[in-house]
Amino acid sequence: MEHPSDHLIEGYANRTLAPEDLLAVDDHVAGCDACRSRAAVLAPVAAPLAELRSDLLPVESHLTDEQVGQYVGGGLTAGEKAPLQAHLGACATCAREVEELRAWARKRPGTHRLVYAAAAAVLFLVLVPVVVRWRSGPDPEKQPSVAGLEALPAQEQQRVRASLEAGVAQPPAYLSDLRGRPEALMGGPTPESFRLVEPIATVSVSDRPTFRWQPLAGAEAYTVSVSDEALRPVAESPPVTETVWTPAQPLSRGRVYVWQVTAHRRGERVTAPAPPAPLAKLRVLEADSARLLDRVAREHPDSHLLLGVLYAQAGVRAEAEGHLAQVPPADRYFEVARRTRERLRTVAGTAGMQP
C-alpha cells in the first residue's frame, strides 16, 4: 500500500482503526522505517503508555488463546465477558490480538464456532496471530527458516519452540540494563561531541568486539577506553586515525563493559558519549552460547528465523534484526519475526528509529 495518511497513522498508534485498516497499516509500518517514525511522532502520550503498560504485564497476565477465541466467538455471559473487557481496555497487546482474530473471522462469514474451536485447539494453532497468516502445508519445523532446529541441544530446542508458540522471542532481562541512564548535566552547556555507533546496548558474540564511532570534524586521532562496570580500566587503544578499533586482547566473557572515545583535535580533547547521554555499554556473550551461535550460523546461514530467534534470546541485537528482517511474509512464522524485532527495539530503546 502507499504511505498511510497522518489520520491513519494516528489511528494506528491509538488502536482506533477498523480491524481491516489496523492490519493493513500494521503490515506497512512493519516494513517502512519512515512510517514507523511518523507513528512515533504522531502518537499521543496515551498510546505509548498503553503499549508500555502491556509490555510490563507478566506473560501469565495476558488473555489465553482460548479466552481470546471465546471473546471473539461470543456466547459468554455478561459476568464472564466483563473481566475480559476490563483487561482489553488496559492491555494493548491482547486488544490487538482480538482485532486480528475478528478481522480473520469477518473474512469467513458464519465462522464464530470455528473461531472458538481454533482458539481452543492449542495443540494445532497455539497462537492467535499465527491464525491470521496460517496456511496448510509441510511440517513447520521442516521449513528453511528453521533448518537446523533438530540439531540443537534439547534445552535450546525447547527455548526456540517456546518462542515460536508464544509468538515472540524474548531478549534476556539484562539487555534493558545495557541502555544506561542519562546523566545529570551540571554547569554550562553541553560541549561539542560526536556519536558512538556500535556496540551499544547489545551483547557481543566475539570477545574482541569491533568499536565504531562517527568522526569529529578536525579530529587528528582518537583513543578508545574500555572499562568494567565499576569503571575500572580494562583496555585502551593507541591513538588511531580511523573511526574503528578492535582490541588486541580478548575481553572476559559474561561481563559487562563501558566504553568511550576521546577525539584529539588541535590540543583539545572531546569525549563521547558526553553528558547527558548515557554510558555506552555492552556485554560479551558466554563461551558456550557463542560457540552454539557460531556453529548454527556456519552450518545453516539461510535459517534466518532460527538464527534470529537464537540471537534475540542471547541479546545480540544487530545480528538478530538482520536475520529476522529476511524472513519473508509468506513464512509461517513471519509474525514471530516481526514481533521479535519490535520487542528488541522496545527493550533497547530504539523503537521508531532506523534499524
pLDDT tens-place values along the chain, 355 residues long: 578 887 777 776 666 666 567 667 766 766 777 776 677 666 554 444 444 444 444 444 677 777 777 777 776 777 777 787 777 766 767 777 767 666 666 555 554 545 545 554 443 444 444 444 434 444 555 677 899 999 999 999 999 999 999 999 999 988 888 986 665 444 444 456 899 999 999 999 999 999 999 999 999 999 999 999 999 999 999 999 999 999 999 999 999 999 999 999 998 999 999 888 889 999 999 999 999 999 999 999 999 999 999 999 999 999 999 999 999 999 999 999 999 999 998 887 654 334 3
- Confidence at residue 93, expressed as pLDDT on a 0 to 100 scale: 72
Q: Around 325, how many Cα atoms within 13 Å sit in the side-chain half-sphere?
A: 13
DSSP 283: E
What does the DSSP assignment read for 109-161?
A: TT-HHHHHHHHH-TTTT--HHHHHH----S-GGGSGGGTTGGGS-HHHHHHHH
Question: What single letter denotes the amino acid at residue 328?
Answer: P
State the Cα–Cα distance between residues 233 and 240, nearest whole angstrom: 18
Q: Which three cell numbers stand for residue 185?
A: 548535566
Q: Dmax over Cα atoms in the chain, in whole Å?
A: 77
What pTM value is reported for the model? 0.59
Got the DSSP string for 33-76?
HHHHHHHHHH--THHHHHHHHHHHS-GGGSPPHHHHHHHHH---
Backbone angles phi, psi at 226, to 5 degrees: -120, 130
d(CA 28, CA 316): 26
Cα–Cα distance between 227 and 341 in angstroms, integer?
29
How far is 350 from 355, CA to CA, in rounded Å? 8
- Name, in order, each residue with C-beta under 8 angstroms of 216's C-beta and a sequence gap of 6 or more: 192, 193, 194, 263, 265, 270, 272
Domain 176-180+192-284 bears CATH identifier 2.60.40.3780: yes
Instruction: Please give the Cα distance from 244 to 109 (Å, whole number).
Output: 59
Between CA 73 and CA 258 the distance in angstroms is 52
Give the residue extent of every domain in the chain: 176-180+192-284
Calpha distance 345→353 (Å, rounded): 8
Query: Left (φ > 0), alpha (ψ -120 to 50) or beta: where does 315 sit?
Result: left
- 307 burial (CB, 10 Å; 0-12 / 13-18 / 19+) is buried
pLDDT for 181 equals: 66
Q: Tell me how far CA of residue 50 lies from CA of 13, 58, 209, 262, 298, in angstroms.
A: 10, 15, 37, 40, 41
